[in-house]
A and B are shown apart, each in its own frame.
Chain A
Amino acid sequence: CGSLSKDPMLKKRDDFEDILEERRNSSDLKYALRCYTPVLYKGVTPCTSSMLKSMVLQSDQLHYVINQVSKETGKATDDIKEEASAILEEMAQCLQLSTVRFFAFTLSKAFKTLFRSICVNEDGIQRLQQAIQEHPVVLLPSHRSYMDFLLMSYILYTYDVALPVIAAGMDFMGMKFVGEMLRMSGAFFIRRSFGGDKLYWALFSEYVKTMLKNGFAPVEFFLEGTRSRTSKSLTPKLGLLNIVMDPFLKGEVFDVNVVPVSISYERVLEETLYARELLGIPKPKESTSGLFKARKILSEDYGSIHVYFGQPVSVRSLAQGKVNRCQFNLVPRHIPRRPSEDIASFVNDSAYRLVRAQEENMVLKPWVLVASLLLQYHHQNQAAGQKRGIALGELTAQAVWLRDLSRQYGAFLHWPDHIPPSEVVSSSLTLHRGLYVYTLKQHKELLSQAVILLSCASYRNQALHVFVRPALLALAIHTASSNQKQEVFNSFSFLRNMFSNEFILCPGATVQDFEEACYLLVKTGALQFTQQEVLVTERGHRTLAFLSTMLDPFLQGYQVKETLCNGCVMFCVQKGGCVHNSIQRSREHLRIGLKYMEVLSSDLQKNSLAALLRLGAVRKMKG
Chain B
Amino acid sequence: MDRLFECVNCKLNLCQYLFFHRQEILKWNGWGYSDTRFLFNKKGQAEFTGKRYRLSGMIIPALQNWFEGTFGASVQHKSPAMPILTSSAVQPPTLNEAFVDELKSTGIPCSHDAEDRVFRGHGHCLHEVFALREGKVGRVPDIVVWPNCHNDVVKIVELACKHNVCLIPYGGGTSVSSALECPPEETRCIVSLDTSQMNRILWIDEKNLTAHVEAGIVGQELERLLNESGYCTGHEPDSMEFSSLGGWVATRASGMKKNIYGNIEDLVVHVKMVTPQGVIEKGCQCPRMSTGPDIHHFIMGSEGTLGVVTEVTMKIRPMPEYQKYGSVVFPNFEQGVACLREVAKQRCAPASIRLMDNEQFKFGHALKPQVSSIFTSFLDGLKKFYITKFKGFDPDRLCVATLLFEGDREKVLQHEKQVYDIAAKFGGLAAGEDNGQRGYMLTFVIAYLRDLGMDYYVIGESFETSVPWDRVLDICRNVKARIIQECKDKGVQFSPLSTCRVTQTYDAGACVYFYFAFNYRGLSDPVHVYEQVEHAAREEILANGGSLSHHHGVGKLRKEWMRETISDVGMGMLKSVKNYVDPKNIFGNRNLI
A residues lining the B interface (CB < 8 Å): 251-252, 254-255, 324-326, 328-329, 332-333
Q: List 20 A-B contacts (CB under 8 A).
A: A251-B471, A251-B475, A251-B478, A251-B543, A251-B544, A251-B545, A252-B474, A254-B477, A254-B478, A254-B481, A324-B543, A325-B543, A325-B544, A326-B542, A326-B543, A326-B545, A326-B564, A329-B545, A332-B470, A333-B470
Q: Is there an interface contact between A254 and B475, defined as CB atoms closer than 8 Å?
A: no
Of the listed residues A251, A326, A328, the one surrounded by the most CB atoms of chain B closer than 10 A to its CB is A251
B482 in the interface (beta carbon within 8 A) = yes
**B interface residue count range (under 10 / 10 to 19 / 20 to 34 / 35 or more):** 10 to 19
Measured in the bound complex, the distance between the Cα atoms of B479 and A325 in whole Å is: 14
Nearest-CB residue, chain A, relative to B543? A325
CB distance from A395 to the nearest CB of B (A): 51
B544 proximity list for chain A (CB < 8 A)? 251, 325
Contacts of B470 in A (CB 8 A): 332-333
A385 to B33, CA, bound (A): 100
Query: Chain B at the A interface: mostly helix, strand, loop or mixed?
Result: helix
Residue of A nearest to B477 (CB): A254
Closest CB of chain B to A319's CB: distance in Å? 10
Contact with A along B463-492 (1 / 0, CB 8 A): 000000011001101100110000000000
> How far is A252 from B474 in the complex, measured between Cα atoms in Å?
6
Whether A251 pairs with B474 at a CB distance below 8 angstroms is yes
Q: Which residues of B are found within 8 Å of A328, using beta-carbon distances?
A: 545
> Would you give the shortest CB distance from A313 to chain B, in whole angstroms?
15
Question: Which residues of chain B are near A254, meaning CB under 8 Å?
Answer: 477-478, 481-482
Which residues of chain B from 439 to 473 have any CB-CB distance to chain A below 8 Å in the complex?
470-471
Render B218-246 as a binary contact track against A, CB cut-off 8 A, 1 for contact.
00000000000000000000000000000
Interface centre among A324, A325, A328 (most CB of B within 10 A): A325
A252 to B475, CA, bound (A): 9
Which chain B residues lie closer than 8 Å to A252 at the CB level?
Answer: 474
Q: Whole-angstrom distance from the CB of B392 to the nearest CB of chain A?
A: 14
How many Å lie between the Cα of A388 and that of B471 in the bound state?
A: 72
Interface string of B563-580 (1 = CB under 8 A from A): 010000000000000000
Instruction: For B478, list chain A residues within 8 Å (CB).
Output: 251, 254
What's the minimum C-beta distance from B509 to chain A, rounded to whole angstroms? 12
The 9 closest A-B pairs by CB, nearest first: A325-B543, A254-B481, A251-B544, A329-B545, A251-B474, A254-B478, A251-B478, A252-B474, A326-B543
CB distance from B480 to the nearest CB of A (A): 9
CA distance A328 to B471 in the complex (A): 11
| Chain A residue with the shortest CB-CB distance to B480 | A254
The chain A residue sitting closest to B332, CB to CB, is A45
Give the docked Cα–Cα distance between A457 and B545 (Å): 52
Q: How far apart are the CA atoms of A329 and B545 in the complex, in Å?
A: 5
- B470, B482, B545 — which one has the most chain A CB atoms within 10 A of its CB? B545
CA distance A333 to B471 in the complex (A): 9
Chain B hits for A251, CB < 8 A: 471, 474-475, 478, 543-545
Q: Report the minimal beta-carbon distance from B566 to chain A, rounded to whole angstroms.
A: 13
- How far is it, in angstroms, between the C-alpha of A317 and the C-alpha of B358 when the chains are bound? 28
- Of chain B, the residue at the smallest CB distance from A314 is B485
A494 to B475, CA, bound (A): 47
Nearest neighbor of B473 in chain A, beta-carbon distance:
A252
Chain A residue nearest in CB terms to B471: A251
Known: A251-B543, A326-B545. 14 other contacts (CB 8 A): A251-B471, A251-B474, A251-B475, A251-B478, A251-B544, A254-B477, A254-B478, A254-B482, A325-B544, A326-B542, A326-B564, A328-B545, A332-B470, A333-B470
Q: In the complex, what's the smallest C-beta–C-beta distance from A551 to chain B, in angstroms?
A: 42
Q: Which residues of A contact B564 (CB under 8 A)?
A: 326
Contacts of A324 in B (CB 8 A): 543
- Chain B residues with CB below 8 A from A255, complex form: 481
Tell me, in angstroms, the Cα distance from A252 to B476 when the chains sit together. 11
Complex Cα–Cα for A255 and B482 (A)? 10
Q: Considering only CB atoms, which chain A residue lies closest to B479 in the complex?
A: A254
B544 to chain A: closest residue by CB = A251
Closest B residue to A135 by beta carbon equals B481
Contacts of B482 in A (CB 8 A): 254
Q: What mask results when residues 542 to 559 of chain B are scored 1 for a CB within 8 Å of chain A, else 0?
A: 111100000000000000
A180 to B475, CA, bound (A): 40
* A333 to B478 alpha-carbon distance, docked (Å): 16
A570 to B441, CA, bound (A): 81
Find the B residue at minimum CB distance from A334.
B470
Assembled-state Cα–Cα distance A328/B543 (Å): 8
| A324 and B564 alpha carbons, distance in the complex (Å) | 11
What CA separation (Å) do A251 and B544 show in the bound complex?
A: 6
Per the bound structure, the CA–CA distance linking A326 and B545 in Å amounts to 6
Tell me the smallest distance from the CB of A330 to a CB of chain B, in Å.
9
How far is it, in angstroms, between the C-alpha of A325 and the C-alpha of B564 when the chains are bound?
13
Chain A proximity of B484: nearest CB distance (Å): 10
Q: Which residue of B lies closest to A325 (CB)?
A: B543
Interchain CA distance A324-B539 in the complex, whole Å = 11
A243 and B481 CA atoms in complex are apart in Å by 22
In the complex, residue of chain A having the shortest beta-carbon distance to the beta carbon of B545:
A329
- Bound-state CA distance A329–B509 (Å) is 13
Name the distance in Å between B479's Cβ and chain A's nearest Cβ.
9
**Looking across the interface, which residue of chain A has its beta carbon closest to that of B478?**
A254
Of chain B, the residue at the smallest CB distance from A45 is B334
How far apart are B396's CB and chain A's nearest CB, in angstroms?
Answer: 11
Chain A: minimal CB distance from B537 (Å) = 13
Q: How far is the CB of B74 from chain A (nearest CB, A)?
A: 28
In the complex, what residues of B have CB within 8 A of residue A325's CB?
543-544
A33 and B481 CA atoms in complex are apart in Å by 38
